[in-house]
Amino acid sequence: MLNKLIKSAITTVAALAVLAAVSPADRAGAQEITVRYASPSAASDPTQAATIWYMDEVEQRTGGRVTFERFLGNALVRDQDIVDAIGDGLIEMAKIYTVSYPGQLPLWQIGNLPFTHPSPYVAINVLHELRAQFPELDAEMEALNVLPLGIIATGGTEIVSRKPLRSVADLQGLQVRARGVQALAFTAVGASPASIPWNDVYEALSRGVVDAATNYIMAVGPIRHNEVSDYFIKVGLGQAIQVEIVNRDFWNALPDDIREIMEQTMRDAEARYSEVINEIAVTATETLSNASGAEKLEFITFPEEERQKWIDQSPDFFAEWAKENAARGDTEAMVKAYRELEAQYAKKGDELGYTSMW
């Protein structure tokens, strides 16, 4: 598997040289600790900015004992290879989109199910609470020799489109980039989802390969999808859950004080992201609405009655998820807990002002 990963995932001579370094345990035992970090996201992505803040802060809080080598935008390891690369110890830490690993992380897909609350604050806290209540979630990660260090959510999954979408009828025959269980939501109303790599969506929209694509308000501008679409449809299709994972062998070999700093800093990064992402989303909406020429987007809020039609015509995603994964744990109890926690944190988020944009 290592040879396959090296051939398929490592893209530069410098990266190959990195693989010749000493083992994770040897590095962790040294006074100075280097953490090689990989991500499919670019630095301009607000979800990635949260982790960049985290890495900067860890370096500062440890007085330089921990430093990060940063490989962003699939520069070192491709999205679909990251879990294997971390588990095998090729790199120490990375961001994953859990939707990319339905076979390896089936229980974690509960966070990606359609039509959940769109606030990142809600999703992050719900999933941490679920981890505490249901150890099966972390057991999935442990089986891959990785540890979930942090959770960052994208916010509501919406649609960028070359044409206006105001009803379920408008979705019929729509060629749309979507993946995972959210693709099934489009199929349920007669759309035709296509699984296109994130970095190829711009060209697919530009060439008319697809009419539309799932997206997130704070990501549209940084990846310039507003240049190749005309409309942003607010439909609240759910969220995409990103998890910051670390190699377990490396983690277990770290000094106790370093682990404590890294854990606490990640909690601080999640809280900071939850606080600022609402403002980022508001600013992004204003900027894209007021842009001129090809960069301008018209915003459409999908009518609530049409959204309910979409939900009614779709499968019961939570019930199906629970049934499919019943052998992995008490999934019915997980669904019940998810719904209760979602309502609890939505109310708390309203009080804190973290959910107004969503």
Q: Is 3.30.2350.10 the CATH number for 2-112+144-153+244-279?
A: no
> Would you list the domain boundaries of the chain?
2-112+144-153+244-279, 158-238+282-326
- Helices (H) and strands (E) in the chain — how many of each? 16, 11
Quick: pLDDT tens for 267-299.
999 999 999 998 899 999 999 999 999 999 999
- Residue 87 makes CB contacts below 8 A (sequence gap 6+) with 144, 145, 146, 247
The phi-psi region of residue 26 (left if phi > 0; otherwise alpha if psi is between -120 and 50; otherwise beta) is alpha
The phi-psi region of residue 10 (left if phi > 0; otherwise alpha if psi is between -120 and 50; otherwise beta) is beta
Supply the pLDDT for residue 29: 45
Distances (CA, A) of 65 to 49, 112, 235, 257: 22, 36, 45, 11
Supply the pLDDT for residue 77: 85
* CATH of region 158-238+282-326, choose from 3.40.50.150, 3.40.190.170, 1.10.287.3510, 2.120.10.80: 3.40.190.170
Quick: pLDDT tens for 100-130.
899 999 999 999 999 999 999 999 999 999 9
Q: Measure the CA–CA gap between 141 and 125, rounded to whole angstroms.
A: 18
Same fold, 2-112+144-153+244-279 and 158-238+282-326: yes
Distances (CA, A) of 100 to 180, 195, 198, 242: 8, 11, 11, 10
Whole-prediction pTM: 0.86
Q: Select from 189, 176, 280 the least CA-distant residue to 231.
A: 176
Distances (CA, A) of 137 to 110, 177, 241, 338: 10, 28, 14, 13
- Cβ atoms of 230 and 162 within 8 Å: the answer is yes
